[in-house]
């Protein structure tokens, strides 16, 4: 289990409220699903994408959603 990176408070709350608590869990979501959460924006998504890549993970492909 890998902790989420430090991102803004609104994005952190959005992820927590949706049940995303670690990077492995986050990798099960598509970018579109996360962007639909209130509080998620492009900067937070970029930081999350980078953190996932650093751990050999990525968001779920929209085609397999």
pLDDT band at 62 (very low <50, low <70, confident <90, very high): confident
Task: Examine the pLDDT at 12 and tell me if it is beyond 80.
Answer: yes
Task: Examine the pLDDT at 16 and tell me if it is beyond 80.
Answer: yes
Does 46 reside within a domain? Answer: yes
Does 1 reside within a domain? Answer: no
Task: Return the HEC string of the chain.
Answer: CCECCCCCHHHHHHHHHCCCCEHHHHCCCCHHHHHCCCCCCHHHHHHHHHHHHHCCCCCCCHHHC
Query: Would you state the pLDDT for residue 64?
Result: 61
Give me the CATH number covering residue 16.
1.10.150.20
Domain range spanning residue 21?
9-64
Query: Would you state the pLDDT for residue 52?
Result: 97
For 39, phi then psi, to 5°, come to: 110, -15
> How do residues 18-54 score in pLDDT, each as one tens digit?
999 999 999 999 999 999 999 999 999 999 999 999 9
């Amino acid at each position: 289990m890998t902790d989420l990176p430090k991102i803004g408070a609104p994005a952190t709350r959005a992820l927590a409220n949706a049940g995303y608590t670690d990077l492995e869990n986050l990798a099960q979501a598509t970018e579109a699903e996360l962007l639909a959460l209130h509080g998620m924006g492009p900067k937070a998504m970029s930081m999350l994408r980078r953190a996932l890549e650093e751990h050999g993970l990525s968001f779920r492909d929209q085609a397999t959603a």
